[in-house]
Chain A
Amino acid sequence: MSDVLILNGRLADPASGVDVERDVLLQDGRVAAVERPGGLAGAKAKETIDASGMIVAPGLVDVHVHLREPGQTYKESIATGTAAAAAGGFTSVVAMPNTVPVNDSVAGLEWMLDAARGACVKLFAMPAATFGSMGEEITDFHELAQAGAVGFTDDGKPVLHERVMRRALVAAAGIGVPVSQHAEDTRLTGGCSMNAGPVAFRLGLRGMTVEAEARIVERDIRLLRDIERQDGLRPHLHVQHVSTAKAMSLIREAKAAGLHVTCEVAPHHFTLTDEAVGDYDTNAKMNPPLRAEVDRMAMIAGLMDGTVDCIATDHAPHALFEKEQEFERAPNGITGLETALGLALRVLHKGQGMTVSRVVELMSAQPAGIVSLEGRGTLKVGSFGDVVVFDPAAEWRFEAKRSRSKSRNTPFDGAGMVGKVMATICEGRVVYRG
């Protein structure tokens, strides 16, 4: 008997160019068959999902989450964070290394990826690019890649020193994985807690400038060009959570020039502006910060024209007591796994006319491609049975108190969402039912 049979849905599998009614059969954790409606009439399964009126898509992939384990499990754990992922339609997540201690060793990576952690969706990790994410000495990329690293990053901090970043790009190029950069020139952002501009001025808060993001993006792109010319390698730079129009246009130019640059945009950066800080709402504080309307529109333009490769949440849980502080003292970050699809469909599909299939592509096939997840981000026969079934027309309100995450730090409590996850299936196991 097969694992799961999904009937009567509309299959959106951009990787195979399919966007029509199809029935899907999952067996032994893989996609066993994809047939025209009725084509699987004889099949029997332990579980049958009636997906009438629903989209059946590859499980979503998030290349940027903070699961806080080890070290800060009062904020989140691998088990709770991946439960939130499942509720948001994600079947693969990539954990950032800024845990306590920093994930910079094979032992640390293996511990994190161990089944004993209780991940309910597929967990991948990007270990630190430098020891302790101190930005000085690069970690052992070869060893870590063999242990499962899908990229390297010092996320939360940039790799500031040019020669260190160059070394990291060269080392990663040899393995074929990206260096994922948090683009922030921290020499320009000391003491800053939101976007620079009239709102920050009025609130009396020091602001992070557009230049602080753009300067690092500009430098890293220059390094790519130099390495291609001088070393004959083709390094892959992944720019995390792009937030400014200026950085977006630098990335657009670099892509046009043929360099291997990819980038992600977070839902909050295409949904909100710095006005959302309002009365010092610490749930609207993250890094990079919410920017001006012109930047928000540039994120949407980048998503529409293909400059942006994927949507990533930067899911960053923090405990209530940490966010119930003076704005400048509160930590950066918001949760995002359970609101990403609802915001993407609301803002990009309903608001901008992007097709549902394209939204799916930006949240599955393309992020899977960035970190080379074989057999994920698609529902071709033979690939992993990672599926999300969602009602693309359902309109609902997100309630933070119903979140699967341990933390509640979201600016989207009560916000309107479009598209509701009805089921999430990871390697043939139903991990969430809406």
Chain B
Amino acid sequence: MKTSGYAAGSLLTVADLPVAEIAAILAATDRIERMSDADRARMLAGRRIALLFYESSTRTRTSFELAAKSLGAITTLVSDKSSSIEKGESLKDTGLTLRALGAECIILRHPNSGAPYLLAKATGLPVLNAGDGMHEHPSQALLDLRTILARVPGVNAGRIDAKTLAGVTVVITGDILHSRVARSNAMLLPKLGARVLLCGPRELLPEDALGLGSAGNTGSVAIERDFDTALRRAQVVMMLRIQRERLAGLELDIGDYIARYQLNEERLAACAPNAVVMHPGPMIRGMEIAGEVADGPNSAIEEQVRHGLAVRTALLVRALGVGGFESVTV
């Protein structure tokens, strides 16, 4: 997928992100995290960032907003429920309006796959994809990567290259079909050598998902339908919510699904006692994940949220071309 024609500093997809760029984002995250609050608040002092949200969000919106504020930026939130979007204003016109009001970067969450491309093309501004339909959630994949680097034993987080995650198997289980988190992770982690095992029933995980793999990657993408088999190979297991709002007539036997795919204490102890447990949220306790596991010692779920805040500071700095990314933006 080409990204030429979009403003530098945009993050629309992880698919075309080179390993060196991933390394630069992670390095910037570390640098910003180590700064004093006062120094950090000077990085984007007075810069204007718009958050444009057409879908509800807790983690992503709050962490982008807090990240922007910690960098000293001025933020404004526009949501579809309380704006002229309700009156039928198009995404293009909404973007042009935000640009006319001085926005230098737009963070977009949208229910339609590909909407960030349209916005980036229409405005010429750097656009950060904060989740588009069933397509991608790039900042989530980057924060997941940072969590994995911090938690999985034996991984050298100081050296980010095509072999950093060699030998690491990440199992992603659940509603892969509707998950932008799964797509972004399955396209990002194999760039660093990880083996991604997708797990779920056929209705939620069609064979077409294998197309997420890329011949150019050191890692790989494969499907394993049996959760226990997948878990036995896992250093990391990511659980996904069933997206009822996107099921579109698909009927699932929930009891059967829980029996086969819920991550509970017994299953974790039997198959992957040392695996790091992750969940992008929102999680439905008792459905895809048992409460005990979510709160248990293997869980990295709250750490993911903290990494999210950190990674998003780096993405904002990159979008606006400061803090080591001066050469990225013109």
Contacts and interface: CB of A to CB of B under 8 A. Distances in A.
A47 interface: no
Contacts of B248: 190-191, 206
A74 interface: no
A196 B122 CA distance: 28
Nearest to B90: A325
A244 B91 CA distance: 34
A329 to B, nearest CB: 7
B12 to A, nearest CB: 8
Contacts of A280: 113-114, 117-118
Interface in A191-206: 191, 196-206
B114 A324 contact: no
Given A190-B248, A190-B249, A324-B118, A204 B113 contact: yes
B133 A278 contact: no
A363 to B, nearest CB: 33
Interface in B6-47: 12, 15
A327 B114 contact: yes
Contacts of B1: 278-279
A204 B132 CA distance: 9
Nearest to B187: A202
A326 interface: yes
Number of contact residues on B: which range applies?
A: 20 to 34
A324 B187 CA distance: 28
B80 to A, nearest CB: 12
Nearest to A279: B117
Contacts of B244: none
B117 A328 contact: no
A202 B133 CA distance: 12
Interface in A113-160: none
Interface string A194-223: 001111111111110000000000000000
Contacts of A198: 208, 210-211
Contacts of A191: 248
A279 B208 contact: no
A197 B206 CA distance: 9
B208 A326 contact: no
A205 B113 contact: yes
B136 interface: yes
A326 B112 contact: yes
Contact of A196 (B112, B113, B118, B208): B208
Contacts of A205: 113-114, 133-135
Interface string B181-193: 0010001000000
Contact of B114 (A197, A199, A321, A326): A326
A279 B12 CA distance: 10
Contacts of B134: 204-206
Given A190-B248, A204-B180, A325 B209 contact: no
14 contacts: A198-B208, A200-B208, A201-B209, A204-B132, A204-B135, A278-B1, A279-B1, A279-B3, A279-B117, A280-B113, A280-B117, A321-B90, A324-B92, A327-B112
Given A202-B183, A279-B12, A324-B92, 7 more contacts: A200-B208, A205-B114, A206-B134, A325-B90, A326-B112, A327-B112, A327-B114
Interface of B: 1-3, 12, 15, 90-92, 110, 112-115, 117-118, 122, 132-136, 177, 180, 183, 187, 206, 208-212, 248-249
